[in-house]
A and B are shown apart, each in its own frame.
Chain A
């Protein structure tokens, strides 16, 4: 197995002096589903963002498919970035734009500035957009505004947008942290599918160890910017767990896949909970 992504002694120190990543070296192989776990602030987000240089690493190297990402500049960097898809905790869609134009944005790395303004997307790109939206099950929402969708649906648009890049590597920064348990599983399953069917390597940070065990082929735990554990998910026992999360931590389970009957966004769930709580009927619509 060849390493598709290698991190060599990666360090990220923020101007405030925080050492977010402290000498991390990792080899990630083609086809792996790597789950990053660790407490908030342990460096998961920083690590993912250093890989495609959304933030600049302070020292060390990121090598993607034999190319040194850390040294790439301008157009070279953008050519690397377009081979690396990324999805985000807050989905990061352009909220006022339609679902399909958000999806088409995934092709920007393949278009010139001039064509971005002056011409419509090519028929191939549009066909690909609908195909990818179909894969994540929301082709019928293609012309809805992105902010009209529920959280789970927005994250699926995020996946479709990333797939438009025809990526070889998918970075996922807490993709389900804003979603309820049932929706989390549906989003994780799409990630699992692109990992297994398309052979796209996935590096995904997660909060819940149960999700990491269920979907990861490998778990990397970060603690204060250092790798505290690197191995198969089932190797994480009580002792290791406490090493990663601290002595006082207790493992909480995210509900099993069947526990909630229908997908519901976190907001919907909260609104229903509020309505039941107060006994004053459903709350007014938020607009």
Chain B
């Protein structure tokens, strides 16, 4: 093939000049990836010598010898809400409430964070940049870190978990919502503007119908994620079933811990299935 080009005095395209197997750029990349991997192994110094196979096997067995007493109140002071299933229900609602809070905040902010709506003049463009920066900063702080901080600020418990989860979620939903607005067809906006409608009417008539479905879809997706995250919030002081899990592990009650982990798996799987079903039917 390359002769076709050389015979006519044309430059030979790169695809024809090189054998992909001997392309030094490709080989360099592969070598670099390997070097990073080897350095990583040395630095992290993975050490399995301290693991005790016998103890591990015994522990794993204990995880499946479920302690069913955590499913009922264990003394006169405990109610349904102190049982594992009661805490599981609380945990699910932690995820739901956190999602609601974050939607309430992210929904109005998302309009301010959409370039196509805010590019009108210099002031709104500045607001746009600020809001998108805010979303990025908020999003970049991981949920667990926010919950640790809010547990310090608000005290250990459900409030810390919900606030922490909602805070991070505002950043994620805000970005997703804003991008949904930026992805709309600009034609109807132009047409509705031309009818003499004001800015609010343009958004109401031309933007809203186009973003309802993506918004619902993104919200359910985040609801799913939040319910999945909620059980681990208790590990850092965020309330819910995570506290019970953390306690059981610290008290070496592996039977209880195993049952809780199983309950979390079931809940998350059910949530996953439900949200996929809803999203499929909507979109």
Interface residues of A (CB under 8 A from B): 52, 54, 75, 78-86, 88, 90-97, 105-111, 113, 116-117, 158, 161-162, 164-165, 171
Contacts and interface: CB of A to CB of B under 8 A. Distances in A.
B190 interface: yes
9 tightest CB-CB pairs across the interface, nearest first? A109-B196, A82-B196, A92-B187, A92-B191, A108-B197, A81-B196, A86-B194, A78-B196, A113-B200
Nearest to B207: A94
Nearest to B204: A116
Prevailing SS type, chain B contact patch = helix
Q: Which range holds the interface residue count of chain B?
A: 20 to 34
A94 B205 contact: yes
A86 B201 contact: no
Interface of B: 185, 187-188, 190-198, 200-201, 204-206, 209-210, 212
B234 to A, nearest CB: 42
A78 B185 contact: no
A90 B193 CA distance: 15
Given A91-B187, A92-B188, A79 B209 contact: no
Contact of B197 (A84, A94, A97, A109): A109
B191 A158 contact: yes
A158 B194 CA distance: 12
B187 A84 contact: no
A79 B196 contact: yes
B201 to A, nearest CB: 5
A116 B187 contact: no
A117 B204 contact: yes
B195 A108 contact: yes
Nearest to B192: A105
Nearest to A75: B198
B205 A96 contact: no
B116 to A, nearest CB: 14
B209 A94 contact: yes
B205 A105 contact: yes
A87 B202 CA distance: 16
B201 A108 contact: yes
B93 to A, nearest CB: 31
A275 B193 CA distance: 40
